[in-house]
Structure 1
Amino acid sequence: MTTASSTDPVPNRIHARPVPRPGRWVAAVIVVVLAAMAVHGLVTNPKFRWDIFWLYLRDVTVIRGVGWTLILTFGSMVIGVVLAVILAIMRRSDNPVLRSVSWFYIWLFRGTPIYTQLVFWGLISVLYPTLSIGIPFGPEFVTFQTDVVITAFWAALLGLGLNEAAYLAEIVRAGLGSVDPGQEEAARALGMKESRILRRIVIPQAMRVIVPPTGNETISMLKTTSLVLAVPFTLDLTYATNAIGNRLFEPIPLLIVSAFWYLLITSIFMVGQSYLERYYGRGTGTERPRRTGPRRPRFGRQAAIKASGTAKDDPFLEVTP
C-alpha cells in the first residue's frame, strides 16, 4: 500500500493494490488455447462436411420437423401443466382417496422410463382395439376404432404430456407449499372461498418457485420429443435429420443440423424463462437492480398532472408547522 501525495485533496488516502493472482491468468490462457483448438478442429476437419450442413439447414423436411417438435413440446407442456395443478391440489386434499390416486399416478409415471411409456402408447390400438362412450359397466352409446382416433401424433402427445404431469405435479406442490400458511388463514378470515384463495392468493405467490423448474422442464421436453420414434411418430426434427443423413450416408452434418436447431430453440426458451422469472420475482428481493443513470423521461399520468400546474410541489407546505 502507498499513501497519497500532498496534492491529493483527500488527506491520508490509502491506494490499495489488488492481490496478484497469476493462477487466474494461467487458467484463462489455457481455456483460450483449448477453445481455439476446438474451433480450429471444427473448421478444418473435412469430415464435418459443412457444405452439407448449410445445404440442409433450411431444408423443407427439417423445417417441418422443427414445427412438429415445437407442437409436441407446447402441447405436451399444456397437458402436463393442467394435470400437474390438479394432481398437486389432490395431494393437498384431506380426502385420502384423492391423495392416494395422485400419489399412485406420480409413482407410476415417474418410476417407468418415458421410452417404455411411449411404446405402450404406440400399442394402445393393440391393447384396446375399440373404445366406447357409455355408462360404466353398462350399455355403450358410441363405439369407435382406437387406431382411427388415437393416431401416432396423438399417442406421442398424450404419452409426453401424461409423463410430464408427474414431474410438474411435484414442482407445483413444492411451490404451493412455499406460500406462508398465514396468507390462507387471513383470506379465510375475510370470508374467501377455498377455490378463490387458491386462485387469487396461493398460486400467484407460488409462481416465483414454480416458474424456474417449469422452464427447465420445458427445455427438457423439447429434447425428449426426440424419443417419439417409439410410438412411432416420424415427423419430428430428430427423425427427419436422421432419415436424410442415412439416405446420404452422411450422418454427422445432419446431426449438427439437428443440434443447431435444438440449441437455437433452447436459447429462445431461456430468454423467455428469464423474463418470466423477473416478472414473478418482483418485490421478493431477487430481481436485478435497475439501471442507473439518465434515462428517457416518461410522460405518465403523474407527469401530466404535474405539468398542468394544478398540483403543488410540496402538498404539505401549508400544514407543516
Structure 2
Amino acid sequence: MSKPRKPKGRPVSGWLILDKPLDFGSTEAVGKIKWLFNAQKAGHAGTLDPLASGMLPIALGDATKTVPYVMDGRKIYEFTVSWGEERTTDDLEGEVTASSDKRPTEEDVRALLPKYTGTIEQIPPQFSAIKIAGERAYDLARDGEVVEIPAREVEIFRLTLLKSEQDRAFFEVECGKGTYVRALARDMGRDLGCFGHISGLRRSFVAPFAEEKMVPLEALIELEKIEDRDERLAALDAYLVDTGEALAALPQIRISDDQAHRLKMGNPIILRGRDAPVAEPEAVALAGGKLIAIGEIGQGEFRPKRVFA
C-alpha cells in the first residue's frame, strides 16, 4: 500500500485581503498568492472580473474552510456606467448590441434608484458563471449560444449616485450575495431608454474585511527581492489576517484548552454556566483567542462541524 502524498508547500493559514489590479483574473491572482506564500492550499471568496479592481479576499490553508461565510457577506462596489451602448458582456469587453443618442439627466437617474433598492429580481449577464444545464453561461455565450437565464432575487441595501455627467454616471452600491453589477448597469440603461454598460468597477468591501486591510499586489511582489527565504516568508505572513476574522458575525464561546482538545478529536463538549447559549445553528469556539471549531449548540452541548488546526 503506497504512502499518502505529502502536500506541497507550507501549512500556512489565514486571509490575504488582496487589492487586485485590473487585467488580472481571480484564478490567476489566487495562483500568484499561493506561489508567493508557498502555501499548501488557497482559494478566493467571490470572483472579481479582470476588468474590475479592488478587494479579493484569498484564503490560505485552514482559512479555506471559512470561504462560504465570506461569500455570503455584504459587498460594496464603486462603478461607472457609460450611457449610449449595450454590450454582449455588459462591460467594455463585449461587442455593441444596441445604441442610442439619448442621454439621461441627473434627475432621471436619481428617480430610478428606488426601483433598484431592496429585494429586486435580476437576470445575470450572458457572460457569467451561472450554470445552465451543467455548463457555465460564459462558455455557452462564447460559442455563440443565447441562453435563457432565469431571473433571481438579489438584495440591494444601498444604491447611491455619486456624480452624473452627460455620457456617464458614477455609483456606489452595497449589495448581497449573487448581485451582478454589470446587470444593474444594463437594466438601468434599458429603463432610461439610452442603454448602458459598465466602464469602471472597483470592489472596496467584502464583509467582514475593511478596506484598510487591502494589500496591493505590487507590495507583495516587492518582497520577492528579499533573498533570505525565511525572512521573505515572515514578511509575507505579516500581511495575513487571522482565520477567525472571517467568522466575526457568528456567536462566539470561550473554551478551555481541555475542551479545545476534545473538539479537535471531533467530540462534543458540554456547556455549563448560567450564561451558556442554549441553541445556535452555528457558533465559533475559541481557546486563548484562537479559532478551534465551527459547530452547533443544542441540548447543552457544542458539537463541532469544522475543526481547525
More helix as a share of residues:
1
More strand as a share of residues:
2
Q: TM-score, normalised by structure 1?
A: 0.21
Q: TM-score, normalised by structure 2?
A: 0.22
Higher CA-based Rg: 1
